[in-house]
Amino acid sequence: MPCIFAGLTTAVGFACTGMTPAPDVQALAIMGVVGICAATVGVFLFAFPVLYGAKNLRFTVQFTVPRWPLIHSAAGIGLLIFFVLGIVYGRSRLKVDYSPTDYLPMSNSYRADYETAGQWFSRMNLPLMVEVESAEDPETWIKLKPLIDTMYEKYPSGFQAVWFYDQIVQLNRAVSGNPEAGFPEDEETLAQLFIWFDPEDLELYMDEDRSRILVNFQIP
């Protein structure tokens, strides 16, 4: 019974995961679906028949094999069919989405930027990587701000841009004591503000050489 119950709940769980409309969740279910499919088929096609052939061994049958699938063959076959149909339907719904960037040749400049951003910042986002002479130059951040604001106007519902601009502004207001202060306008002030942040936090938005700035776009 523990074998049947565990197989049933796991198979149905992964099948339902495959039915979800979220592509990322579907992709995570692939390995689980394959594993439970192999385990279920293996138990029914190999383990049960072998042990059923040794049913005269009272100890084995009594303590190892759930007896009701063997006694009620219709129930056992029906359960196997239910398993297989649920798994097959769940697998049929699984999709693995590839980024359009994957189809570009490595010589393409956009593909090169994408690979560089993935190397530095991972690929769990829609990255905009800006290469600069120095991230401590306020002009770079100030020029990016209108672009981000334009994106908010273009995608008003659910769009979000995650970058370090707002944190710098908030810290500048706290340090200066001026609640109306904006982004610092000189390199020395900006460099001093960076010191206040944990290096691990800075790594999420700029590389260690301070020559690349990352903006993460979340677009519905």
- pLDDT at res. 21: 62
Other beta carbons within 10 angstroms of residue 11's beta carbon come to: 24
Domain ranges for the chain: 2-93, 101-218
> Does the pTM of the predicted model rise above 0.85?
no
- DSSP for residue 71: H
177, 147 Cβ separation under 8 angstroms: no
Structure tokens at 180: 């109306």
Q: Rounding to the nearest 10 degrees, give the CA dihedral for residues 20, 26, 31, 34.
A: 50
Partnered with residue 215 across adjacent β-strands are: 128
Q: Between the CA of residue 157 and those of 148, 154, 160, 218, what are the distances in Å?
A: 14, 9, 9, 11
Q: Between the CA of residue 194 and those of 9, 77, 172, 203, 205, what are the distances in Å?
A: 51, 66, 10, 11, 12
pLDDT digits (tens), the chain, 220 positions: 666 677 677 767 766 766 666 655 666 666 666 777 777 777 777 777 776 666 655 544 444 455 666 666 777 778 778 877 877 777 676 655 556 566 677 787 877 777 777 676 665 567 788 888 888 888 888 888 898 888 888 776 777 888 888 888 999 999 888 888 888 888 888 888 888 888 888 888 888 888 888 888 876 5
